[in-house]
Amino acid sequence: MSMPHAPSVLLVDDARDMLELLRRSVNAMGLTPFTADNAVDAIGILEQGPVDVVITDLNMPGVSGIQLVRYLGEHHPRIPVLVITGYPKLEDAVQVMKLGAVEYLVKPFTQEELRQAVERVLRAIGAMPSAAPPPATVRDGFHGLLGRSRAMQEVYRVIERTSNNKATVLVTGESGTGKEMVARAIHYNSASAAAPFIAVNCGAIPDQLLESELFGHMKGAFTGATTSRAGFFQAADGGTLFLDEIGNASPAVQAKLLRAIQDKEITMLGATRPQRVDVRLISAANNDLPAMIRQGGFREDLYYRLNLIHIHLPPLRDRTEDLPRLVDHFNHRFSRELGKPPLRITPPVLETFAAYPWPGNVRELEHLVHRLVILLDGTVATSDLPMHMRSPAPRAAVPDTLVSLAAMERQHIRAVLEAVAQNKTKAAAILGIDRKTLRGKLKDPG
C-alpha cells in the first residue's frame, strides 16, 4: 500500500459492536476510519470529504446497504465498496456485485480476512492508473504472491501476459499452493481491476444448484423458482469469474460453460433467449484434468477452451528457497495481529522446514506459523515443532541419491543412535548387528 496519504475508509453498520470492531481493525491497518450506523449518515460523510473505500453491512433498518451501494454506484463510481453479507445470501451478493461492489465479506469473518479484503480493494484502486510493467528483474513478489524462486518468477511473468487480454486461464497445482491468489492477481493486474472478481467453488455447490447459480434462472424455471434471479456470470460481467475446483462441474454445467465461452453469451434457466456477457474465466483444478478426460469425466473441448493460458504452481517442497521469505511474512503478519514481537526462527528450524514435504503447501505453512505465533514467545527451536515434522521423513534421510552405500549406512546409524539417545546396545539391536560391529563402524573414518 504505497499511497500518498493514509487511505480513509467509511464503515457503515447498524450494529454498534460490529462498527467498533471494524473501526479498530481499520485503525490497526494504518488507515483512517469514519463510521456511520446508518446509510443516511454515511451519505452525509461521503458528501463532506474524501473517502477512499466504503465498507458496508447490507441488512440495516431504514435505507438498506443495497440502496447505499446503488447510491455510491451512481454518485461516486470511483469509490470501491466492500460489502459485508451473511452466508448463504447469494442473491444479495449477486445483486450488489451488479451494482458495483468490488468485494464481499461473508459473516462471520476473521480480522485477517477483513485485512486481506481491504488490501485487495486498495490494491484495486492503486492498480487502476498503473500501465508500465515493472522491470524484468528478479521480483520478491507480485500482487501479494511471495517468492523469488525461478518457478514463481515464471508465474509472475505469465500473469503479466494476461493483463491486457481476456484469455481464459487454467491454474493447476496441489492443494494450498496459491491457485486462488494467482486468480486474484490476474484480475487485479488487469484492466478490469475495478470490475467484480467473483469466486465460485464448483465442488461446494450441488450439481443442480450450480447451474442456476452460474447462469441465473427465470421465474418458474423449476419448482421453487418464485422469482427470476441473475447468476454469477451476470454478476461478474465486465470482470472475472473464478471457477474453483472445475473438475467437479457436472456434464450439464460443462456443456453450458463451453457454449458461454464459444458464443460469449449465456442462457438463464427457463429463458428462451440468450444474453451477452463479457467475463474473463479463470479456472482452478487440483485434480488431473487430462486423466479425467481419458476416463470420460471431463470434456476435452472445454478443457482446451479453459486452458488458453496455463499456470502451474509447483508444490512448496520444490521451491524451498521461497520458505524463508514466506515464514518471515507469516511470522510478522500474525505477530502484528496479536500485538506481540515477531518470533525468532532459528536456522535449524528453517532446515527442518526445508526437509519437510509440506503436503498442504503454503496453507499448511501459514497455519503452522500462526500456531507457533500463538503458542510461543521469543525463539523457536526444532523441539517446538510438531512431532511429524521432526521425525526424519524419507526425504530427509536420503540427502542425495548419488551417495555411496557406506555414506548411507553412516547416516542411518547416526539417525538410529539419535532416536535411542545414543544408547549403543539399543541401536545395535535395532540395526541387527552386535555392539562390536557397531563400534567398528563408528570408528570407521568418515
Ligand X SMILES: Nc1ncnc2c1ncn2[C@@H]1O[C@H](COP(=O)(O)OP(=O)(O)OP(=O)(O)O)[C@@H](O)[C@H]1O
**Which residues of this chain interact with ligand X, rule CB under 6 A?**
145-147, 173, 175-181, 286, 362-363, 366
CB-nearest residue to Mg ion: 180
> 366 is in the binding site of which of Mg ion, ligand X, none (Cβ under 5 to 8 A by kind)?
ligand X
Of 138 and 403, nearer to ligand X (C-beta) is 138
Chain centroid to CA 95: how far?
Answer: 24
Which residue has 521432526 as its cell numbers?
A: 390
CB of 118 to Mg ion, least distance (A): 20
Site size toward Mg ion, by CB under 5 A: 1
Give the relative orientation of helices 90-99 and 65-75 as an angle to the nearest 10 degrees. Answer: 20
CB of 374 to ligand X, least distance (A): 16
CB of 147 to ligand X, least distance (A): 5
**Closest CA relative to residue 203, chosen from 267, 250, 149, 160:** 250
> 114 is in the binding site of which of Mg ion, ligand X, none (Cβ under 5 to 8 A by kind)?
none
CB 198 within 8 A of CB 235: yes
Q: How far is CA 81 from CA 14, 17, 124, 310, in A?
A: 17, 21, 11, 31
CB of 26 to ligand X, least distance (A): 20
Three cell numbers written together for 39: 446509510
> 363 is in the binding site of which of Mg ion, ligand X, none (Cβ under 5 to 8 A by kind)?
ligand X
Q: How far is CA 181 from CA 158, 235, 327, in A?
A: 14, 20, 17
DSSP 38: S
Q: Which residues in 152-191 contact Mg ion (CB under 5 A)?
A: 180
CB of 145 to ligand X, least distance (A): 4
Print the binding letters for residues 369-398 with Mg ion: x by CB under 5 A, - otherwise: ------------------------------
Of 367 and 435, nearer to ligand X (C-beta) is 367
CB-nearest residue to ligand X: 178
> 100 is in the binding site of which of ligand X, Mg ion, none (Cβ under 5 to 8 A by kind)?
none
Of 172 and 352, nearer to Mg ion (C-beta) is 172
Q: Which long-range contacts (CB under 8 A, 24 or more apart) does 62-71 make?
A: 62/38, 63/38, 63/39, 64/39, 65/12, 65/39, 65/96, 66/92, 66/95, 66/96, 66/99, 67/39, 68/12, 68/39, 68/42, 68/43, 69/96, 69/99, 69/100, 69/101, 70/99, 71/39, 71/43
> 362 is in the binding site of which of Mg ion, ligand X, none (Cβ under 5 to 8 A by kind)?
ligand X
> 117 is in the binding site of which of ligand X, Mg ion, none (Cβ under 5 to 8 A by kind)?
none
Rounded CA-CA distance 280/435 in Å is 69
Of 34 and 142, nearer to ligand X (C-beta) is 142
DSSP per-residue letters across 380-437: E-GGGS-HHHHS--HHHH-S-SS--HHHHHHHHHHHHHHHTTT-HHHHHHHHTS-HHH
CB of 244 to Mg ion, least distance (A): 5
Of 215 and 353, nearer to ligand X (C-beta) is 353
Three cell numbers written together for 24: 479498530
Sign of the torsion angle spanned by Cα atoms 12, 17, 18, 19: positive
Q: CB under 8 Å to 322, separation ≥6 — which residues?
A: 146, 147, 148, 149, 152, 316
CB of 177 to Mg ion, least distance (A): 9
CB of 241 to ligand X, least distance (A): 15
CB of 347 to ligand X, least distance (A): 22
Of 80 and 315, nearer to ligand X (C-beta) is 315
> 124 is in the binding site of which of ligand X, Mg ion, none (Cβ under 5 to 8 A by kind)?
none
CB of 144 to ligand X, least distance (A): 6
List 198's β-bridge partners, or say none.
241
DSSP 130: -
Of 204 and 375, nearer to Mg ion (C-beta) is 204
Q: Could you say whether residue 41 binds Mg ion (CB under 5 A)? A: no
Of 79 and 159, nearer to Mg ion (C-beta) is 159
Of 41 and 180, nearer to ligand X (C-beta) is 180
β strands within 78-168, DSSP E: 81-86, 103-107, 141-142, 145-146
Of 112 and 351, nearer to ligand X (C-beta) is 112
Residues of this chain that interact with Mg ion (CB under 5 A) are: 180
